[in-house]
Structure 1
Amino acid sequence: MAKKPKPQLRANLLKNRSTRQRKNDFTRDVEVDADRVFELKSSERVRGRNEMSRKRTISGATLDGNRIVLEIDPEKALYGRVLSSVGSTQCTVQVEDGRRFMCSVRRIVRTVARETRNAVVAGDKVWITASDETTGVIERVEPREGVLSRGHQNREHILVANVSQMLIVGSAAQPNLKPALIDRFLVSAGKGGVHPIVCVNKIDLVDPVELVSLLGWYSQIGCDVVMTSVTTGYGVDRLRQLLKNEQTVFAGQSGVGKSSLLNAVQPGLSLQTGQVSEVTQKGKHTTRYTQLLPLIEGGWVVDTPGIRQMELWDVRPEEIEGYFVEFRPFVALCRFPSCRHYREEDCAVIRAVQMDLIPRVRYESYLRMMLGDDA
């Protein structure tokens, strides 16, 4: 009996083309010479339907829910993890036997992943085919778990995938601590299913007592908290223990000392570090792209470029309160079920802020996110 043929998979695939530019200098021409309005040529532009997208048949693929699964040859393909990704032609992949390949990305992989800004990111678990001893092609990307992403030009920009925890690094001074940015990272960690750790670096530049109240709140809502100083070595041993056998992404603004902390945790990394401007109190980007780095004691760390603004992705304003754990005991006591905790009457959350049961700095961070103000 003949085998039943596999059903063909049809999918919307965007073409790798840009939109046509319109002629936009009509007004300028008329302002120069008004009589030229009668000389302007009129035309009708005709183009095929769905020029920018169309249905294509994908051979060697199946549909798992809404996800297109590209088939691979298990005898030829190698399973590995992306250590770094720069564009679509410079992906460093380490396979299970320790070999590393510089890989490009198969075009069909890029095409089916048009919903996001990048088809392959650092931390991805992938299947590749080797072209020779040092180069290869990424054939398939496995489903992601534990992601750090942000919004960028109305698209999702995934910074790293398949991590278990996020080390949110701030600095006590130079540059100054930004609780609002830390809170945005906490929401992103909650959205991505990643355990958060709040790390305040450069603690030697201030009196640590000044930060006890704020860091105590982060500890109460379930975050691990660690204060560190690369200069004195304070807190580095505890940080090393928190990173052991975990997949940790370092996140924070430029100049807070992410690369310096990694060098202190494992001196052999020798990552480039930079200085903070005395005028702007902002750091310069010394880490140009996201990269995975193995730890001698077990686990991986991910060094990321500094982020000065963290636009939340796929988080609606009415969902934000759910990521503020300290709000939960009071939300049910609000007068209105749809209370935004902004200007509504009889809001239990606002009363809790007035009674110092919720830190005002956390409440202000909530308002900025809920109202759409970038941090």
Structure 2
Amino acid sequence: MREGRIIKGIGGFYYIDSEEGLFECKARGIFRKNNLTPMVGDYVFFTVLDVEEKKGVIEEIKPRRNMLFRPPVANVDQVIVVFAVTQPDPNLSLLDRFLILAEKEDLDIVICFNKIDLLPLEEYQWMLDIYSRVGYKVITTSKDHPISLDDLRQALAERVSVVAGPSGVGKSSLLNHVQSNIHLQTGEVSNKTERGKHTTRHVELIPLDQKGWVVDTPGFSNLRMDFTGELQLTHYFPEFLKPSEECKFTSCLHEKEPQCGIKEAVSIGEISESRYESYLQLLEEIRGNRKY
């Protein structure tokens, strides 16, 4: 058997990058019986059925280091979360959801604020400050400012990266400008809804000149939080860790409890109000999900 990595999956066919080239493979029926579906990013063993036509069958999926379900991709190193500073206006609550899902999968995170050519720095600096203070790596980009793409190229180098974010923020346009041989379909933001049109139809690993791989994914705007309990949520807000040591109760949810280190940190500006509001919204959502 040969070994390789799935770099694309369309219509039940999986395209596997291996030392002998790219093979088009189907998956054995046993995977369906075992309720297991191959994913882009999977390392697999496969049998060659036709050497000349480069066709084969996937026999085994190696253990996954991690996996995301939306987008469906496995063995990722980092997530680059792209939001526009305007057109569409940034939804920080949605951004926090992306960050939590990445934290939950123990992925490295880069936040990319795009379309900086459309606003002066003083109108979006406050957003950069919020997430830089948390400890996230924050970069700014514009496809019309080539030098601004250098930080993005550096972040992508030698890593498997998911580029995620809502539609219309310019993910595909950025990747097209990062490397000349990437030709991803792009869409414009609807004037009526200020939402982007969905342009990416499948998940694919794209090889980069910087010896990395990038996954371009469909844009989406609703991320469901799936936690077993409220206490779990606190772990995915890195800036909550130290202040929570000052909470009176070890089971503090940082909501209505007295002597709460998190609420005190918010009141003195150590934790941003927008991040705390995101936390409270998600807390309520987790409780609502538990009722069903």
The two structures share one fold, judged by TM-score above 0.5: yes
Aligned with 1:90 (options 6, 9, 13): 13
Is 2:59 aligned against 1:139? yes
The CA RMSD over aligned residues, in Å, is 1.8
Richer in helix (by share): 2
Write out per-residue CA displacement over residues 135-173 of structure 1, whole angstroms, 9 at most, x where no aligned residue.
Answer: 2211111111143335xxxxxxx6211111110000111
Aligned with 2:161 (options 248, 264, 272): 248
Runs (5+) with no aligned partner, structure 1: 1-76, 151-157
Q: Is residue 200–residue 218 contact of structure 2 (8 Å, CA) maintained in 1?
A: yes
Q: Is residue 131–residue 138 contact of structure 2 (8 Å, CA) maintained in 1?
A: yes
Q: Is residue 169–residue 200 contact of structure 1 (8 Å, CA) maintained in 2?
A: yes
Runs (5+) with no aligned partner, structure 2: none
What is the CA–CA distance in structure 2 between the aligned matches of 1:291 and 1:191, rounded to whole Å?
Answer: 23
Partner of 1:61: none
Equivalent residues in 2 for 1:88-237, closer than 5 Å: 89-97=12-20, 99-113=21-35, 119-132=37-50, 133-150=53-70, 159-237=72-150
Alpha carbons of 1:315 and 1:252: their partners in 2 closer, same or farther (altered >3 Å)?
farther
- SS of the residue corresponding to residue 127 of structure 1 reads strand
What is the CA–CA distance in structure 2 between the aligned matches of 1:311 and 1:333, rounded to whole Å?
Answer: 30
What is the CA–CA distance in structure 1 between the aligned matches of 2:67 and 2:125, rounded to whole Å?
Answer: 30
Write out per-residue CA displacement over residues 61-117 of structure 1, whole angstroms, 9 at most, x where no aligned residue.
Answer: xxxxxxxxxxxxxxxx11111111235x221111123x2122211111232235xxx
Write out per-residue CA displacement over residues 167-191 of structure 1, whole angstroms, 9 at most, x where no aligned residue.
Answer: 0000111111121122112111112
Worse-superposed segment, 215-224 or 184-193 = 215-224
Cα shift at 1:245 = 1.0
Q: Is residue 4–residue 17 contact of structure 2 (8 Å, CA) maintained in 1?
A: yes
Cα shift at 1:355 = 1.7
Aligned with 1:272 (options 185, 198, 203): 185
State the one-letter code of the partner of 2:199: T
Structure showing greater relative contact order (alpha-carbon pairs closer than 8 Å, 6 or more residues apart): 2
Partner of 1:284: 197
**TM-score normalised by structure 2 residue count:** 0.92
State the one-letter code of the partner of 2:143: V
Aligned with 2:234 (options 317, 321, 331): 321
What is the CA–CA distance in structure 1 between the aligned matches of 2:216 and 2:14, rounded to whole Å?
Answer: 16
Highest CA radius of gyration, 1 or 2?
1
What is the CA–CA distance in structure 1 between the aligned matches of 2:244 and 2:7, rounded to whole Å?
Answer: 42
What is the CA–CA distance in structure 2 between the aligned matches of 1:317 and 1:108, rounded to whole Å?
Answer: 38
Cα shift at 1:220 = 2.9
Number of equivalent positions: 285
Is 2:253 aligned against 1:340? yes
Write out per-residue CA displacement over residues 182-241 of structure 1, whole angstroms, 9 at most, x where no aligned residue.
Answer: 211211111212100000111111122232232223223332110000123252011111
What is the CA–CA distance in structure 2 between the aligned matches of 1:268 and 1:166, rounded to whole Å?
Answer: 22
What is the CA–CA distance in structure 1 between the aligned matches of 2:176 and 2:279, rounded to whole Å?
Answer: 34
What is the CA–CA distance in structure 1 between the aligned matches of 2:101 and 2:19, rounded to whole Å?
Answer: 30
What is the CA–CA distance in structure 1 between the aligned matches of 2:61 and 2:8, rounded to whole Å?
Answer: 14
**TM-score normalised by structure 1 residue count:** 0.72
Alpha carbons of 1:254 and 1:85: their partners in 2 closer, same or farther (altered >3 Å)?
same
- SS of the residue corresponding to residue 131 of structure 1 reads strand
Q: Is residue 227–residue 234 contact of structure 1 (8 Å, CA) maintained in 2?
A: no
What is the CA–CA distance in structure 1 between the aligned matches of 2:234 and 2:90, rounded to whole Å?
Answer: 23
- SS of the residue corresponding to residue 17 of structure 2 reads strand
Aligned with 1:312 (options 205, 208, 225): 225
State the one-letter code of the partner of 2:16: V
Q: Is residue 149–residue 313 contact of structure 1 (8 Å, CA) maintained in 2?
A: no
- SS of the residue corresponding to residue 85 of structure 1 reads strand
- SS of the residue corresponding to residue 235 of structure 1 reads helix
Alpha carbons of 1:112 and 1:314: their partners in 2 closer, same or farther (altered >3 Å)?
farther
- SS of the residue corresponding to residue 75 of structure 2 reads coil
What is the CA–CA distance in structure 2 between the aligned matches of 1:163 and 1:192, rounded to whole Å?
Answer: 9
Q: Is residue 130–residue 137 contact of structure 1 (8 Å, CA) maintained in 2?
A: yes
